[in-house]
Amino acid sequence: VMSKLTKLSEEFNYNVSDPGATMTFVAGGALKPIGGHILSHSSATRMFLRKGKRRAEERVAKLVDSPDRPESEASYKLDEGGWTDV
């Protein structure tokens, strides 16, 4: 399925998002993606989206893995106009 989605995204030049689930490891408390290496090999860029801590409407996008960008975070909010920087 992921290979077909990748081919379609390349052919029609659009983004494919996989809203993958995460689970918490009891030993370390860290969040890990469900699907592990299988999904990581089929995607070039991976982001982790979560709620922010400062304001109720704040969200944080963390770039976890990218072939051409360093790991980083950005705060944003969703409103009537779409994504807005916080």
pLDDT-based confidence at 79, cuts 50/70/90?
A: confident
User: Does the pLDDT at position 74 exceed 70?
Assistant: yes
pLDDT-based confidence at 8, cuts 50/70/90?
A: confident
Distance CA 86, CA 57 (A): 10
Q: Which residues, 6+ apart, have CB-to-CB distance to 74 below 8 Å?
A: 60, 61, 85
Structure tokens at 45: 């860029």
pLDDT, tens only, 11-42: 898 777 766 666 666 666 666 666 666 666 66
User: Does the pLDDT at position 75 exceed 90?
Assistant: yes
Distance CA 72, CA 65 (A): 9
